[in-house]
């Protein structure tokens, strides 16, 4: 439970179905044929997660014009996600993974160090999944600030 296997480019992306902020079921399979950026974040409405979510929101039009779709996943319940969406005017789906099963399947749940203290929880991670469901890019322990700019550089889509 504490150490999930990390994914690498070329691995099949684990499929999932989770509830969004409105309680609607959303599956990775719904995005078949599209390139999807799936990012895991620890907790809605916290400073780092707000910075990262707003970064994706502010770059969404540009990413979508290049064919990328964005999904955010956290352990938060749909009600907390809806509040986050409303407060930050987020324009992409946020999905609820309270049992952290999906995070575990992606290797985004495990031991992490914060200010020298080791704990088990969500590891801020981002995955780019191509239209056939294959991992193109897997990033673990990403920094919230400037993450989208780094992701764009790593994908070769610098604006």
Q: Active site includes 49? A: yes
Residues with Cβ < 8 Å from 101, sequence gap 6 or more?
none
Which own/partner contact pairs does 79-83 have at CB distance under 8 Å and 24+ positions apart?
80/44, 80/45, 81/20, 81/21, 81/44, 82/21, 82/22, 83/44, 83/45
User: From the candidates 49, 85, 123, 142, which is the catalytic residue?
Assistant: 49
Q: What is the 3-class SS of 4-33, one letter each residue?
A: CCCCCCCCECCCCEEEECCCCEEEHHHHCC
**Which residues are part of the catalytic machinery?**
49
């Amino acid at each position: 439970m504490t150490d999930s296997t990390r994914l690498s480019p070329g691995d099949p992306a684990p499929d999932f179905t989770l509830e969004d902020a409105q309680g609607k079921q959303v599956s990775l399979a719904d995005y078949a044929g599209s390139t999807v950026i799936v990012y895991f974040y620890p907790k809605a409405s916290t400073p780092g997660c707000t910075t990262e979510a707003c970064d994706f929101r502010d770059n969404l039009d540009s990413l979508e014009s290049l064919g990328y779709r964005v999904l955010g996943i956290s352990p938060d319940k749909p009600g907390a996600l809806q509040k986050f969406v409303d407060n930050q005017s987020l324009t992409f789906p946020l999905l609820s993974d309270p049992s952290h099963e999906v995070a575990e399947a992606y290797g985004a749940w495990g031991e992490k160090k914060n200010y020298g203290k080791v704990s088990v929880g969500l590891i801020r991670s981002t995955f780019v999944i191509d239209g056939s469901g294959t991992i193109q890019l897997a990033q673990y322990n990403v920094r919230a600030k400037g993450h989208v700019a780094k992701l764009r550089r790593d994908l070769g889509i610098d604006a």
